[in-house]
Structure 1
Amino acid sequence: MVPSWPWGNLAVTLFLSSGSMEPAFHRGDLLFLTNFQEDPIRAGEIVVFKVEGRDIPIVHRVIKVHEKDNGDIKFLTKGDNNEVDDRGLYKEGQNWLEKKDVVGRARGFLPYVGMVTIIMNDYPKFKYALLAVMGAYVLLKRES
């Protein structure tokens, strides 16, 4: 079930794992996403999209939109902190994204909430040390 908010259906689903969207978003920020398929995609909007052959969704800004008379929309994305557009990230031979590629649209964020998860994934020894400290704390508290 997706909670209902004044600005529509909202799903909290994504931690940013890279710095490609700085300064708008930082690594570890928790994004609040919506996905209204009927809403038009516009340049400047931040979208989350999946590319065939990649497991992790990408969060980048729409920089160009091509809208045909029949309503079909194709668009190009780029990370705010990247030098070039995302064509190098799309599947081979793909130059534009379509609405079907969009997983969600960024509507808000909580800064750095996901850093603990990222640190534990980047530094596995830290994760084990933290578990050891927590285990020792539980054992010591139990004895007192």
Structure 2
Amino acid sequence: MVLALLVLVPEGMMLVTGVKSPAMAVLSESMEPAIKKGDMVFVHNMSNEPFREGEVVLFKVDGFEHPIVHRVIKVYEHRDTGEIRILTKGDNNSVDDRFLYASGQLWLQPHDIIGRVACYLPYAGWPSVFISEAYKVCKHALYSG
């Protein structure tokens, strides 16, 4: 029964939210003070809703192992083509995220966004943070020596 719950609960959450990984631990301080390192964010996918400045999204960037949780600071719709462009920034960062995007990429597009943060649970992600940081230490030790 426990095994069934471990399989069915994540699958059910995926069906409800429309996101492959609907819960994720925040691994950095980039969104403080709003969302802190170690908080657990819960993500949903409202793909038919327009993106809005101020909302917090989860997006994937080539070269980064984990998705990034940052705030939308600018939404631009090209007048002629209707193409949507999105610019993000961590609340605790002094500059926008263009330095994080793929080489030559100045904006995110809707397909780069995994989902929108619906809510968060303070401190619930700390076990994941500890595991992630321990993995980095072990990986560094294996490859440097």
* Percent pairwise identity: 45
Deviation at 1:37, TM superposition (A): 1.4
Gaps of 5+ in 2: 1-10, 136-145
2:120 maps to which of 109, 123, 135: 109
Q: Provide the alpha-carbon RMSD of the alignment.
A: 2.0
Aligned match for 2:69, one of 52, 59, 71? 59
Unaligned runs of 5+ in 1: 125-144
Structure number with larger C-alpha Rg:
1
Normalising by structure 1, what TM-score? 0.76
How far does residue 53 in structure 1 lie from its aligned partner after superposition? Answer: 2.6
Match of 2:17 among 9, 14, 21: 9
Q: 2:83 aligns to what?
A: 72
Alpha-carbon contact 2:26-2:129 (below 8 Å) kept: no
2:51 counterpart of 1:41: yes
Greater strand proportion: 1
Separation in structure 2 between the aligned mates of residue 3 and residue 119 of structure 1, nearest angstrom: 24
1:56 CA displacement: 1.1
- Please name the residue that 1:28 is paired with: 38
Deviation at 1:117, TM superposition (A): 2.9
Distance between the aligned counterparts of 2:108 and 2:86, measured in 1? 5
Higher helix share: 2
